[in-house]
């Protein structure tokens, strides 16, 4: 059995959904199909999920949202018309959407979750109706009825362990199962969504639960690229990479996969195959537990902006028991998460997402660190970009750090900080945001362009 997930761009129109039908029917092992809400049909289009969020916010403010509701229903009606479906499915979608919009608003964040989950839920109903109209034995599966139970955390729901036993029973059902992604139900029967792009999480959870042989994730690219194609032209495709490599890459700006999505599949040892809905015969990128290290030390380079560094210096810091714990306790008191902690014997830097540091929070953190830890120096540096150089091969390769540092130096990029991951699968470089693109290009040229030239020679 395979679990197959299709993203929003793969389901944005009737034409795309026809491709999905052909893909599913091409392999009888594709028994469970996880679907997203309709995505953009063109760059200037709006995703249905975004329209639903706007609709929910208007409802909470007591404003009329008739125009937004009509826009959402029109998207589904347009798709149904392209597929030659009767009005019956749209009548059902209208009824179900209105019922949610008129639902309990006592917990605003949960209400927004319930409304935005309608994108996936209603699309699953439409797609199941289309499959049936084409003579395919198919059925819509509601996550509550299937037993997908989650924590009551709006926008960040976590799967409850008991869900896996419930969902395993899906193996016993006949035909193709169309399952909406992105959300589950609390034990009290209320809808909560995973973090954004959480349909990937649903696919991973179901793969784990039913013990699938493969989790296929269809999107709009042939494969995962070794670097952001918006920064480097025609980058090399990655054919195989490990879960750890993908986790590092997705965390640091790779948009192909949600960075939490692989955890359930990883724990069950299920391989993941990223493929293109518009070119399904392309092999795509396989994500596995282990791979042969045949393509050099580095498999990919990722980058992301919006970081800052809290730098602290104190003489004999290394002799002070509990210094690091006290710093992290202060951050915890303000609800701040961190990314990296490069350190020396007398200094330490805390790297974090700078959008967490509102002016009052920043002042409070700096004041407490100064007063409670008596540091000699403290400063915050904003607008940093983090570059992640990732590859299992780095653990067995000498000189990778030197090559990366030399490439950045030759490109005139100043390195603000370096941090080697303890797993030795990744290496982090901090640079100014203004130098991000130049730094990424320099690293790509060093580890990929030069390798291609060598291979051709």
pLDDT digits (tens, 9 = 90+) for 266-280: 899 999 999 999 999
pLDDT per position as a tens digit, 176-214:
999 999 999 999 999 999 986 789 999 999 999 999 999
Q: Over the Cα atoms of the chain, what is R_g?
A: 24
CB 438 within 8 A of CB 412: yes
pLDDT per position as a tens digit, 355-413:
999 999 999 999 999 999 999 999 999 999 999 899 987 877 778 889 999 999 999 99
Out of 220, 247, 266, pick the residue that ends a domain: 220
Tell me, yes or no, whether 216 and 304 share the same domain: no
Using the predicted structure, report yes or no on whether residue 453 has a pLDDT greater than 50.
no
Does the residue 132 lie in any domain? Answer: yes
pLDDT at 279: 95
Does the residue 264 lie in any domain? Answer: no
Does the residue 253 lie in any domain? Answer: no
pLDDT at 35: 98
pLDDT at 258: 66
Tell whether residue 337 is among the known ligand binding residues: no
Q: What's the whole-model pTM score?
A: 0.84
What mean pLDDT is reported for the chain? 91
CA max distance for the chain? 75
pLDDT at 457: 37
Using the predicted structure, report yes or no on whether residue 420 has a pLDDT greater than 50.
yes
Tell whether residue 376 is among the known ligand binding residues: no
Tell whether residue 277 is among the known ligand binding residues: no
Structure confidence at residue 454 as a pLDDT band (50, 70, 90): very low
Tell whether residue 220 is among the known ligand binding residues: yes
Tell me, yes or no, whether 442 and 347 share the same domain: yes
pLDDT per position as a tens digit, 135-166:
999 999 999 999 999 999 999 999 999 999 99
Does the residue 241 lie in any domain? Answer: no
3-state SS of the chain is CEEEEECHHHHCCHHHHHHHHHHHHCCCCEEEEEECCCCCCCCCCCCHHHHHHHHHHHHHCCCCCHHHHHHHHHHHHHHHHHCCCCCHHHHHHHHHHHHHHCCCCCCHHHHHHHHHCHHHHHHHHHHHHHHHHCCCCEEECCHHHHCCEECCCCCCCCECCCHHHHHHHHHHCCCEEEEECCEEECCCCCEEECCCCCHHHHHHHHHHHCCCCEEEEEECCCCEECCCCCCCCCCCEECEEEHHHHHHHHHCCCCCCCCCCHHHHHHHCCCEEEEECCECCCCCEEEECCCCCCCCCCCEEEEEEEEEEEEEECCCHHHCCCHHHHHHHHHHHCCCCCCECCECCCEEEEEEEHHHCCHHHHHHHHHHHHHHHCCCEEEEEEEEEEEEEECHHHHHCCCHHHHHHHHHHHCCCCCCEEEECCCCCEEEEEEEHHHHHHHHHHHHHHHHHHHHHHHHC
- CATH classification of the domain holding 313: 3.30.2130.10
pLDDT per position as a tens digit, 331-351:
999 999 998 898 889 999 999
Does the residue 295 lie in any domain? Answer: no
Residues 6+ positions from 203 with CB-CB distance below 8 Å: 3, 4, 5, 34, 181, 215, 217, 261
Does the residue 442 lie in any domain? Answer: yes
pLDDT at 423: 63
Out of 156, 185, 220, pick the residue that ends a domain: 220
Using the predicted structure, report yes or no on whether residue 250 has a pLDDT greater than 80.
no
pLDDT at 371: 95
pLDDT per position as a tens digit, 284-337:
999 998 888 776 789 999 899 999 999 999 999 999 999 999 999 999 999 999
Tell me, yes or no, whether 313 and 189 share the same domain: no
Over pLDDT 90: what percentage of the chain? 75
Tell whether residue 8 is among the known ligand binding residues: yes
Tell me, yes or no, whether 51 and 167 share the same domain: yes
- CATH classification of the domain holding 177: 3.40.1160.10
Q: Structural domain of residue 33, as residue ranges?
A: 2-220
Tell whether residue 5 is among the known ligand binding residues: yes
Does the residue 265 lie in any domain? Answer: no
Using the predicted structure, report yes or no on whether residue 422 has a pLDDT greater than 80.
no
Tell whether residue 434 is among the known ligand binding residues: no
Out of 220, 242, 264, pick the residue that ends a domain: 220
pLDDT at 455: 44
């Amino acid at each position: 059995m395979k679990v197959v997930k299709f993203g929003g761009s793969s389901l944005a129109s009737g034409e795309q959904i026809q491709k999905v039908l052909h893909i599913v029917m091409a392999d009888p092992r594709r028994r469970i199909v996880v679907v997203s809400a309709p995505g953009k049909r063109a760059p200037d289009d709006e995703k249905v999920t975004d329209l639903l969020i706007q609709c929910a916010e208007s409802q909470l403010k007591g404003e009329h949202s008739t125009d937004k509701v009509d826009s959402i229903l029109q998207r589904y009606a347009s798709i149904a018309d392209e597929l030659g479906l009767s009005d019956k499915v749209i009548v059902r979608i209208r009824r179900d959407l209105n019922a949610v919009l008129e639902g309990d608003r006592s917990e605003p964040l949960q209400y927004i979750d319930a409304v935005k989950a309608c994108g996936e839920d209603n699309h699953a109903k439409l797609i199941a109706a289309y499959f049936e109209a084409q003579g395919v034995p198919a059925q819509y599966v509601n996550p509550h009825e299937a037993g997908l139970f989650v924590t009551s955390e709006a926008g960040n729901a976590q799967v409850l362990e008991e869900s896996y036993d419930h969902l395993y029973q899906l193996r016993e059902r006949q035909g193709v199962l169309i399952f909406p992604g992105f959300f589950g139900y609390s034990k009290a029967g209320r809808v909560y969504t995973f973090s954004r792009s959480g349909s990937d999480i649903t696919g991973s959870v179901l793969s784990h639960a039913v013990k699938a042989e493969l989790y296929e994730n269809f999107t709009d690219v042939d494969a995962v690229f070794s670097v952001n194609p918006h920064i480097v032209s025609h980058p090399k495709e990655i054919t195989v990479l490990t879960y750890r490599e993908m986790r590092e890459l997705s965390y640091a700006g790779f948009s192909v996969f949600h960075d939490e999505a692989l955890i359930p599949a990883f724990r069950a040892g299920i391989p993941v195959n990223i493929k293109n809905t518009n070119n399904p015969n392309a092999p795509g990128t396989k994500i596995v537990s282990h791979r042969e290290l045949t393509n050099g030390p580095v498999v990919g380079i990722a980058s992301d902006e919006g970081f800052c560094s809290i730098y602290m210096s104190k003489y004999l810091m290394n002799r002070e028991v509990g210094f690091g714990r006290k710093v992290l306790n202060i951050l915890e008191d303000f609800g701040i998460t961190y990314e990296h902690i490069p350190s020396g014997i007398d200094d330490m830097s805390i790297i974090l997402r700078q959008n967490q540091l509102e002016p009052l929070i920043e002042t409070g953190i700096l004041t407490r660190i100064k007063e409670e830890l008596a540091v000699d120096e403290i400063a915050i540096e904003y607008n940093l970009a983090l570059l992640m150089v990732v590859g299992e091969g780095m653990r067995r390769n000498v000189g990778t750090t030197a090559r990366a540092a030399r490439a950045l130096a030759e490109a005139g990029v100043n390195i603000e900080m370096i941090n080697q991951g303890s797993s030795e699968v990744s290496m982090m470089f901090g640079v100014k945001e203004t130098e991000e693109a130049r730094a990424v290009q320099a690293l790509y040229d060093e580890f990929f362009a030069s390798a291609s030239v060598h291979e051709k020679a």
